[in-house]
Structure 1
């Protein structure tokens, strides 16, 4: 079992060990992103989650419902954004926003790539910077 133990980085602190099934669930819920650093006990090397064969791309909310080559609906208001509250002590859901609106907010630095977004069809929240629609802006 120890060889199949996984560790992940949360707020610059290693978390784990967790089983492969638990790690897959964390990824599917969006708690571990495709470029977050993870480590498998069998080889003790930290690398991006997406570099491990055990985690297929469709498992990550960051790439779900995105079809390369298919045109992205720029004006469909379907994205919900997590933003800090006025006190900064909690997060609030804002939106829905369109891809165009979110891209404009990124360009004008009203939001940052580390903020989380979600839309119907995703298994969990993901960072703006991890979604193909926004990644080139961050």
Structure 2
């Protein structure tokens, strides 16, 4: 009987921790949604695949969400820049965990070249490896 009571208490404690974790995830998602409403944001995997974009980001560059999700970051870069050594160096530094900030060339959906004023921040996981990159775009100069 003592074993049963101890296991029951352990299970109840684990369930309580799970509920706390779920609550924290909901809170963080709500916080992030508020940030997305206030800033142009792009979230990518460590290899540059676009996973999430804010509405403000889409508005700045004229794209629809389904045109970007699952595509590589280079899809809205000019082809010359996307093939350049600077672009390769940019991604190498991000994957190495270095924050990159500056003005970056891009192409609006309408084909017009633009420069993004952006800060790209690597997100480092528990293993010390970059798992994602978040881009914060403050403005677009056309």
Larger radius of gyration: 2
TM norm. shorter chain > 0.5: no
Instruction: Report the TM-score when normalising by structure 1.
Output: 0.28
Greater fraction helix: 2
